[in-house]
Amino acid sequence: MTDIRIRLDSDAADRQLAQLALFLSDLRSFWPKVVPLFVLWMEQQFSSEGAFAGAPWAPLAFSTRQRKARLGLRPQILQATGAMKQAASRPTRQVTPRSLTLTIEDPKLGFHQAGTPQMPARPLIFDRLPAAAEAELREAAADYVADLLRRL
């Protein structure tokens, strides 16, 4: 009869867990995976006129549609010149080990986000991630952690 002996080396596992904890305490290598997702979400907000986040934007007033046509501007909501959409595709980034702040630099965005007495809110930035965006972010995070585990 053959003896089977199993030896578990918890020191190696402890070292790997400590290394994983260190990687997860500094997410600067994860943030570059989030930026393209954000840009995609902004594109989906523009193309769906807000429906991607679950709240379609109010239609433009007839007078606004007429003015845009007369001036040769794009008829889509929030895309008269394309400047806001372009700014949303190139957000500025502020990165720390534990946070990523993406800023869309457009002077009109705040007015559209909150609305004014003369204009309804048409929020580009959502308060809560839509389910599809949350799933994409979870998948990116799972891929990131799986890659870290492969490298240990």
Asked if residue 8 has pLDDT above 90, the reply is: no
Task: Give residue-wise pLDDT tens across range 111-126.
Answer: 999 999 999 999 999 9
Number of H helices, E strands in the chain: 6, 2
Stretch 74-90: mean pLDDT, rounded?
97
Sketch the domain layout of the chain as residue ranges: 50-125
Q: Which of 102, 122, 87 is nearest to 32 (CA)?
A: 102
